Structure 1
């Protein structure tokens, strides 16, 4: 169990993964080109910029990086599908939700014992890219969707290199990496990843820092919080209430430089199983994050053997979280309010989030039966199948911090209704493209 200071807090592992899209390019909304002029980008970044939007780099000829990581959606998915569709026919379903690519440039390499930036919490698994931290650079991460059969579905590295060689930016690629840059397949493929990395590192649209929080943190005109937003920030940092900062904080504060709103930790919180993901139709399939199946170096020594890494997924940044419609590594939830209520009632009302076995449906449900949960049916009797996407032997890996502190069912929630409302108001201040002086559209955020 982690120990934290009064200014930290464990919030929302809004765990989100790689790239594929269900909308065809013809029906998808137009993507906005990045904001940094090409003249200000290195040759490698210029090549990466063109590659990022190049659909010919996929086996289907219909998918680019931007298909899933849409600039209009903070470089996240442009729809609310739990997982995206790709492959050679654009019908292959992924296994994890698509994350945003914003604010990734300072991500540390994965470590089993990563130092926590708060200087207080004990080191633990953290860092790296993808939901399980299995690669250490943006260049390595870019290679994954290019070859994944459910995503861009190229047959092999040589196919990717052939596409680049035949593309209109081949000369630009050679300018960046040398005249022989496309002759050796392994080197050329590695440089393709470096080009995409350079684009993400250099183009300001990947790390704009233009939220209301940024204006407030820098004491700039027009950035003042409303009372509700101010209260929400207190909920965010209070270890006895929201306790969000223990996982979504990286050493910066509200009166200092802007935080990344993640400490890069990798945690287990027992997110419910999502049966909308086709692979989950197989009851033997379990996505357990760091211990597999996609990551191979931390798997249990034998089936069901003890393994401290099982069930752990990366804590993403909360920047632009209020713009998302897909949350957690398996895309099980579709609104920010639902996510916060999961944190608040996972333990006190588990029947709202996990299936009940053996119960009798109550028809009609009680007038006060909440409708915000995943489970819309109220049951009498039966057994709630809590933590239904994690084998029983790994439930001990679940983080016991507030607000997911394992308190008894039926007990008081960590956050009040006002706390929930205020926290949502604060999290909306993390959206980029804030217009100075603009008031919140939600009336509850003005009070």
Structure 2
């Protein structure tokens, strides 16, 4: 039996956080709530297939990155750079940068310890790891001028008057009544508590979870996909998207909390990419001098959980892909069919890895399968095998236990 935290009624603080999560009046325009981007019925991910969200005071400003899910963040460790440990949920907070040209051991789904000596970024929230707590995470989009575009003064003022925040004002006590800043901090804490306490943010209710407990069987295609997912010479997906139960008995998160430079193609559908000097370099852009001090990690973005990935319509940090078929094609064919994903320049040459400046292209993962194929080489996964992996990924969608009671397809 897998261990899951027992469901409990929401605390008063989390109840306030829930009300805040759905309150559009907290935004600058009064029209966007947290739930506008993180839709509960879509596992707290985005609706539609737009690469990024349109926000800001007029609802027309383009967000910087694709919207991540808010599910399964309760076990995310703080950001650090240190030895590779693919299953650790309690990584110690260290910062280390490898020497230039140092060796990088390949990651394998069959032997995650093989890369343990690598120094890698890991942990943290957002795609660049710039926040360590859900309280810090809540602060980001609420006050981002391209997202909810709120002001601290407006949010603090609403928390002083809105009816749902009366318990918050009581909990904040004398200091909360005297200090708007303190009341605002308590409000952001309430948002964090809601995400931690509400079980719908981490239900572990997929068919895969039922399979782990012997309550469901994979179909032939799901089983084939599961084996390919774990085959180090095929998908090798489990090298980063760890799918095994740890010593703590907790269900797997399908991420190792680490960061990779996968070289997703530049998304020319985004306004800011038409500036040739613009690059989003992930980890090394989380602080002003990062492109120098964290240069070995430029171009790296967080490895997301694959739970509920089958319900998404945008993938990678810039939302360049819109289906799991496109994602699997990219993994299988990136290096062998470069012109399928990258444009050709005026000289006719393929502009590979075109969303990373040349100075940082050595950071791109070419060592870990399924990458590293020579141009024209046969792909590690056939079209049919890619579809089988997608069939397995569909078993990671939460709510299977509920559907199986009424859907004969799931109850066989």
The answer to whether the 8 A contact 2:243-2:252 is kept is yes
Please list every run of at least 4 consecutive aligned residues from structure 1 whose deviation after the TM superposition is greater than 6 angstroms.
none
Q: Secondary structure at the match of 1:105?
A: coil
Partner of 2:385 in structure 1?
419
Residue 178 of structure 1 and its aligned partner are, at CA, apart by 2.9
Partner of 1:131 in structure 2?
127
The answer to whether the 8 A contact 1:96-1:329 is kept is yes
Partner of 1:385 in structure 2?
351
1:174 and 2:169 correspond: yes
Q: How does 1:335-350 map to 2 (within 5 A)?
A: 335-350=323-338
Alpha-carbon deviations, 1:71-122, whole Å to 9, x = none?
Answer: 0111001111001111111111111000110111000000011551346132
Aligned-partner Cα distance in 2 for 1:182–1:420: 58
- TM-score in terms of structure 1 length: 0.79
Q: 1:89 aligns with which of 52, 55, 58?
A: 58
Partner of 1:16 in structure 2?
none
Partner of 1:189 in structure 2?
184
Structure number having the greater helix percentage: 2
Q: Secondary structure at the match of 2:388?
A: helix
Aligned-partner Cα distance in 1 for 2:177–2:371: 54
Alpha-carbon deviations, 1:362-410, whole Å to 9, x = none?
Answer: xxxxxxxxxxxxxxxxxxxx21110000011111111224434322110
Q: 1:403 aligns with which of 354, 357, 369?
A: 369
Q: 2:194 aligns with which of 183, 199, 204?
A: 199
Q: Extract unaligned runs of 5+ from structure 2.
A: 1-5, 88-111
Q: Secondary structure at the match of 1:112?
A: strand
Residue 279 of structure 1 and its aligned partner are, at CA, apart by 1.3
Query: 110-119 vs 70-79, which deviates more?
Result: 110-119
Q: Secondary structure at the match of 2:192?
A: helix
The answer to whether the 8 A contact 1:250-1:263 is kept is no
Aligned-partner Cα distance in 2 for 1:343–1:259: 22
Q: Secondary structure at the match of 1:205?
A: helix
Q: 1:143 to 1:200 in 2, by over 3 A?
A: same
Aligned-pair RMSD on alpha carbons? 2.1
Partner of 2:97 in structure 1?
none
Q: Extract unaligned runs of 5+ from structure 1.
A: 1-35, 360-381
- TM-score in terms of structure 2 length: 0.86
- Count matched residues: 374
Q: 2:291 aligns with which of 296, 299, 303?
A: 299
Q: 1:180 to 1:259 in 2, by over 3 A?
A: same
Partner of 2:42 in structure 1?
73
Q: 1:135 to 1:391 in 2, by over 3 A?
A: same
Aligned-partner Cα distance in 2 for 1:40–1:329: 35
Q: 1:334 to 1:439 in 2, by over 3 A?
A: farther
